[in-house]
Amino acid sequence: MPNIAFISPKGGAGKTTAALLLALGLAERGARVALIDSDPNKPLLRWGGLSGRPDAISVHAAPTVQDIRDAAYEARRRDPDWTIVDTEGSVRGAMVFAALRFDLVITPLTGSQMDAIEAIKASELVASFGKRAGNDLLHRCLLSRVPAALKPRSLAAVVEQLRARDIEILPAPLIEKEAFRALFEVGGGLAALEGHGVSGVPAARRNIEAYVEAVLKLLGRPAVAERAVAERALAERALAYSRVG
């Protein structure tokens, strides 16, 4: 069961959006996802309280590091395939490393110089926590809110700065999409948005697909482990028999 954390010392870089999109994309592929909301403003908990949350996604509030451990423990009862932790946009967010062992840490950033500086800081923070814990933490930056049409010069400059420091970037950026904002107003996943007159949903869906694919490829695993698929099929069959009986 992989654990993924979203961290960035800078607020508003796109962590919560990227965490939710990953959860929705994994759920689309049949995975059960525990979303741990460690931001005191509780944006994911609020999303989970709107209508349409897929059953495959559970949301757990965890305002402190101790709460993250407890929330992960509570989530485990639902046998999730993935645990995704969203943190607050400050250096305090990095305290998350004391709570769980992470398979991947993602730092979203927009194509701005300020975000680039903070993403470099995040990368250094992750490297130092990994060293202290005695095992390297896998870290990737994720370009977010990238304009769909043309790539601005500032974005190229940001990419160049990260590359110069050997900071790796996930190969699928998140596009600036009205649909991604609307998820937090409407609730649920992309399917619910079309009925609310939100445009660009098919392109948003393709973008999530590419992003999820990039994460799965990086971790070298499917959305749902074969063992879990087999166990769940058995459990469903047993339930069906018990109902017939």
Q: Which stretch binds Mg ion (CB under 5 A): 9-17, 121-129, 133-141, 170-178?
A: 9-17
- Least distance in Å: CB of 122 to ligand ATP? 11
Give, in order, the Cα–Cα distances in Å from 173 to each of 25, 32, 42, 128, 145: 14, 24, 25, 26, 8
Q: Rounded to an integer, what distance in angstroms lies between the CA atom of residue 56 and that of residue 25?
A: 11
CB nearer to ligand ATP: pick between 14 and 189: 14
| First CA to last CA distance, the chain | 34
11 binds, among Mg ion, ligand ATP, none (CB under 5 to 8 A by kind): ligand ATP
Identified binder of Mg ion from the candidate list 3, 8, 16, 144, rule CB under 5 A: 16
Q: Which residues contact ligand ATP (rule: CB under 6 A)?
A: 8, 11-17, 39, 88-89, 144-145, 174, 176-177, 180-181
CB nearer to Mg ion: pick between 16 and 83: 16
- Least distance in Å: CB of 192 to Mg ion? 21
From the centroid of its chain, how far is CA 170? 13
Q: Rounded to an integer, what distance in angstroms lies between the CA atom of residue 128 and that of residue 171?
A: 24
From the centroid of its chain, how far is CA 59? 12
**Burial tier of 134 (Cβ tally within 10 Å: 0-12, 13-18, 19+):** exposed
177 binds, among ligand ATP, Mg ion, none (CB under 5 to 8 A by kind): ligand ATP
**Burial tier of 244 (Cβ tally within 10 Å: 0-12, 13-18, 19+):** exposed
What mask of x and - would describe binding to Mg ion in positions 24 to 63, judged by CB under 5 A?
---------------x------------------------
Q: Rounded to an integer, what distance in angstroms lies between the CA atom of residue 239 and that of residue 245?
A: 10
- Least distance in Å: CB of 109 to ligand ATP? 9
Q: Which stretch binds Mg ion (CB under 5 A): 11-19, 62-70, 153-161, 208-216?
A: 11-19
- Least distance in Å: CB of 105 to Mg ion? 15
Query: Using CB under 5 A as the criterion, which residues of the chain lie in contact with Mg ion when the complex forms?
Result: 15-16, 39
